[in-house]
Amino acid sequence: MGLRSLFMRRRSAVGTAASAVVVGSEPEHQEPLTPEQLAELQEAWAELANAAEGSGVTGLHACSRTGGPWQEDPVAVRGLAATLRSISSDKAQ
């Protein structure tokens, strides 16, 4: 779809149902983290802080696909750290 066709699309008729679908649900109640999980999460946050410092990032805004808190998921935090490291390495080249 080119830009022209994007801007020339007709609006849906008044009174028709919207086609937007809301994905996600109410976040589930999570159990408290075990000491091992908490230690892993702290390591992941240390990696993210190191990657952010190396890339020069001063602020961060993110959300999860599932509606759950990404801040409490070590895999998500490490994924964000890896993204920041790859961006800073791309800038260096």
String of DSSP letters for the chain: --HHHHHTPPPPPTTPPP-------PPPPPPPPPHHHHHHHHHHHHHHHHHHHHHT--------SSSS-GGG-HHHHHHHHHHHHHHHHHHH-
Answer whether residue 40 is part of any domain. yes
Answer whether residue 74 is part of any domain. yes
Q: What is the pLDDT of residue 51?
A: 92
User: pLDDT tier at 5 (50, 70, 90 boundaries)?
Assistant: low
Answer whether residue 38 is part of any domain. yes
Domain residues for the domain of 84 are 31-46+68-93
Answer whether residue 26 is part of any domain. no
Answer whether residue 14 is part of any domain. no
Q: What is the pLDDT of residue 80?
A: 93
Q: What is the pLDDT of residue 10?
A: 62
Q: What is the pLDDT of residue 40?
A: 96
Count the domains in the chain: 1
25-75 pLDDT, tens digit per residue, is: 555 667 888 999 999 999 999 999 999 988 888 888 888 887 788 899 999
